[in-house]
Amino acid sequence: MMKGKIAVTPRSLSQGGHPALAPLEQAGYELIFPAPGQQPSLEQLAQVLPDCVGYLAGVEPIPAEVLKQCPHLKVISRNGVGVDNIDLEAARASGIVVEKAAGSNARGVAELAIALMLAGLRSIPWSDKQLKAGKWDRQQGIEIRGRTLGVIGCGQIGKDVVDIALGLGMKARAYDLYPDPVFAPQGDFAFVSLPELLGQADIISLHAPPSGQPLIDAGAINQMKEGAFLVNTARAGLVDEAALLAALDNGKLRGFATDVFASEPPELTSLLQHYRVIITPHIGGFTEESIARATETAVSNLLRVMG
């Protein structure tokens, strides 16, 4: 006997067939895929969610107007750590439990952050574009060993970034509102204040939660070293785009790399099209291993809440 319907919307899962989803079907639930391979629209969610008891959700907006139409929905289970796309107050008011897959995609995001640093410091995307256009041109890069990495937000992702950076011979400084006193990796590492980090770091990697105001604004950029490189694999709202564009134009920053955007797909602004900017389509957690871990956790959370 079917226990109910569960909507599955993450793009990495929404075409069905992922083995980590099998326990849901084995438990007697019917899986619904509103927008296979795509981020669902509000209209698509409104069509299917009112009949669902569970929701394995991606990064799509989930506003109150949708949640109010879902009398049977017991739980929204994210296959990631971010829940700022969900109207949490509306969920609580409707008695809907919100779960997240904490730490499941940390390694994938951390490795991408490091990859973006290396790509930026050696102008790899720019060089590839030039050579494919028939131009033999080069930009001098810098080596990463001995450089200081500043990590803003030292949760599990930030810790993984620090560990990899130390392994590459970097120094690492971290700023966190609640620094973990147990985290003491081998190598040149210390927790510091935000002004200290901004002033010391050659490369800054953002791993902080959403903030009401950008953490990286004109004031923060002015405190950075000349030629610093900034990486954002956390939230688009952490940076002031106008201030960042000005800093790239005047040479204050060597470059910027981001995997996160205010909307997906993003509007190709002057910042995103800048030749000193590297952009990737939200692929931080889009690895075989991260998807499997996140899905297993999200499925486990669904089954636990729904009993």
Does the annotation count 274 as an active-site position?
no
What type of residue sits at position 208?
A
Choose the catalytic residue: 147, 235, 254, 276: 235
Query: Across the beta sheet with 4-8, what order do the strands follow?
Result: 29-32, 4-8, 52-57, 75-78, 97-99
Angle in degrees, CA 95, 305, 40, rounded to 5: 70
Return the SS3 of 192.
coil
CA–CA dist 253, 267 (Å, integer): 22
Reduced to 3 states (helix: H, G, I; strand: E, B; else coil), residue 109 is helix
| 122 noted as active-site residue | no
For the range 22-27, what are the long-range contacts, defined as Cβ-Cβ under 8 Å and sequence gap of 24 or more? 23/299, 23/300, 23/303, 24/54, 24/299, 24/302, 24/303, 27/3, 27/303
Kindly name the residue from 18, 264, 274, 296 that is annotated as catalytic.
264
Candidates 243, 196, 245, 257; CA nearest to 224 is 196
Which one is catalytic: 78, 254, 282, 293?
Answer: 282
Which positions are annotated as active-site residues?
A: 235, 264, 282
